[in-house]
Amino acid sequence: MTIPLPASDQCSVAPPVGSQIDYGYFMNCVHCGLCTSACPTYLETGNENDSPRGRIYLMRGVVDGRIALTDTVKHHLELCLDCRACETACPSGVQYGRLIEPFRVEMQQRELVAGDSQANGWFQKFILYGLFPYANRLRWALAPARWAQRLGLDRLAEGLGVTRLLPKQLQRMQSLLPTLPPPTPPLPEVLSPVGKRRARVALFTGCVADAMFGPTNWATARVLQYNGCEVVVPRNQVCCGAIHYHSGAGEPALQLAQQNAAAFNPDDVDAVIINVAGCGSMLKDYGHVAHELAPADDATRQRLDKFACKVKDVSEFLMSLGPIKPTGEINLRATYHDACHLCHAQKIREQPRDLLSLVPGLELVPLAESEICCGAAGSYNLTQPEMAAQLGRRKLENILKTNTQAVITGNAGCSLQLQMQLRQAGHDIWVAHPMDVLDLSYRQQLPSCLR
């Protein structure tokens, strides 16, 4: 029973975290538990509080005033990967993302106001928010690592134990670094189609993806060109905002969304193309983000909704356009890992597989638990390293059972996580994006693992 406060004290008490969320989202959950078998954290811990059903109960309890938002409750909510696998499994259509995301944003905002040291920590301020969302800054930061890899200094530092002197989160970042390719030049602002123009598209290049996976952005642009697309690359585009939004920093996420909506002219293109699942999910959610963070600003929501309606994953767009069949033979046994924000958030499963089936010689082997998160989840593998490592090992075991030469996935974070797991286990298996494979086939070239 809630004891009413005197009228003079009521105005000084903040409403519970989550009070602004549409209560109907909570009520849609009938607590049937069918989501539990799809939830990666529940599969690992067996703790009901680490399941979608349990987390919804916790959030609703906080909103109702029945449960205090203790550090334990926060831990269960922060352990969520936001992979949205529960949405796929739910027969009632519960929009779990519309619950966990705004709830965590408000949790973060309250912690910032209260001066919580962790919410204002150096890692979030300087790395998550100060480095990752800026491709040029990240390129400069990676330059010493690239030279260290070329000279073998990274292996020497690990062998001498020097890396163990770094803070835990920087150690994790160092371990995630793949073999960095040579830096790529910026994509031209406009790339002409090969043959007759079939579409005009804008390419979203991202931040971490642009700095670390530049060759994949070039491969994506070439594949679009081979399929008759004129490709526009806006210079003033910025980070999608997912890094901020999923870690609870709502205001900068909304600012980045507004900058991207201004950078791309949705009326001038047939689609805004994205090749990173996490970014694509965020871009398609811009309208919802505006509604959550600026509910009274209808103009902003309409503008972001208009932009979001044009966003298409590259595999989704190519299959709707009608792909031109590549002819270069790639005799490779590979498996495909479903990135969570592609298969669960965007409901894109068959399109990447259908595109890969066009490549002559490519054998695609099914992967057990393909739709279970690998533990990357954006910055999750830096902020929740133990659970990320558990899920990474689970994914590795399933990959090794396929006895394949390559793992193909449509998300930069998944690629980093899978490369790290394979490298640490001593396995030389190529981790590639579907566009990397298609581009090689269009250009009649072989991947390095077959040369």
- Taking only the tens place, the pLDDT of each residue in 266-295 is 999 999 999 999 999 999 999 988 888 888
Whether 165 and 206 share a structural domain: no
Tell me, what amino acid is at 102? P
Q: CB atoms < 10 A from the CB of 43, how many? A: 19
Residue 98 CB-half CA count within 13 A: 21
Structure pTM? 0.90
Mean pLDDT across 14-20: 88
For the segment 167-180, the average pLDDT, to the nearest whole number, is 80
| Mean pLDDT of the region 343-363 | 96
Do residues 330 and 312 both lie within one domain?
Answer: no
Mean pLDDT of all residues in 238-259: 89
Considering the chain, what is the average pLDDT of its residues? 89
The answer to whether residue 9 is domain-embedded is: no
Q: How far is CA 405 from CA 363, 364, 427, 450, in A?
A: 10, 10, 10, 9
Same domain, 306 and 329: no
Amino acid at 92: S
CATH number of the domain that 70 lies in? 1.10.1060.10
Q: Over 50: is that where the pLDDT of 11 sits?
A: no
Q: Which residues fall within 8 angstroms of residue 322, CB to CB, at 6 or more apart?
A: none
Q: How far apart are CA 126 and CA 129, in angstroms?
A: 6
Domain count across the chain:
4
What is the pLDDT, as a whole number, of residue 145? 84
- pLDDT band at residue 416 under the 50/70/90 scheme: very high
Same domain, 396 and 309: no
Residues 212, 215, 217, 223, Cα dihedral to 10°: -160
182 located within any domain: no
Counting every residue, how long is the chain? Answer: 451
- Same domain for 33 and 81? yes
Task: For residues 60 and 90, state if they share a domain.
Answer: yes
CA distance to 164, 368, 373, 381, per residue, from 44 (Å): 27, 16, 11, 15
Specify the 3-state DSSP secondary structure of 365. strand
Beta bridge partners of 231: 191, 201
**pLDDT tens figures, 298-328:** 899 999 999 999 999 999 999 999 999 999 9
Question: What are the Cα distances from residue 69, in Å, to 24, 111, 240?
Answer: 21, 12, 30
Please check whether residues 293 and 203 belong to one and the same domain.
yes
Distance of CA 363 to the CA centre of its chain: 27
What confidence score (pLDDT) does residue 1 get? Answer: 34
CATH number of domain containing 303? 3.40.50
Q: What is the CATH number of the domain that holds 365?
A: 3.40.50.1860
Q: How confident is the model at residue 10 (pLDDT cuts 50, 70, 90)?
A: very low
For range 190-207, the mean pLDDT: 96
User: Do 310 and 271 touch, CB atoms closer than 8 A?
Assistant: yes
Q: Clarify whether residues 350 and 263 are in a common domain.
A: no
Residue 8 covered by a domain: no
Evaluate if residue 8 carries a pLDDT over 60.
no
d(CA 249, CA 130): 13
What pLDDT is recorded for position 113? 65
The whole-number average pLDDT for the span 28-52 is 93
* 156 domain residue, yes or no: yes
pLDDT of residue 335: 97
Q: Are residues 156 and 55 in the same domain?
A: no
Structure confidence by residue, pLDDT tens digits, 106-141: 888 787 666 654 555 777 788 888 888 899 999 998
Tell me if 322 sits within 8 A of 354, measured CB to CB: no
Same domain, 418 and 342: yes
Domain of 31, in residue numbers: 14-113
> How far apart are the C-alpha atoms of 312 and 276, rounded to whole Å?
11
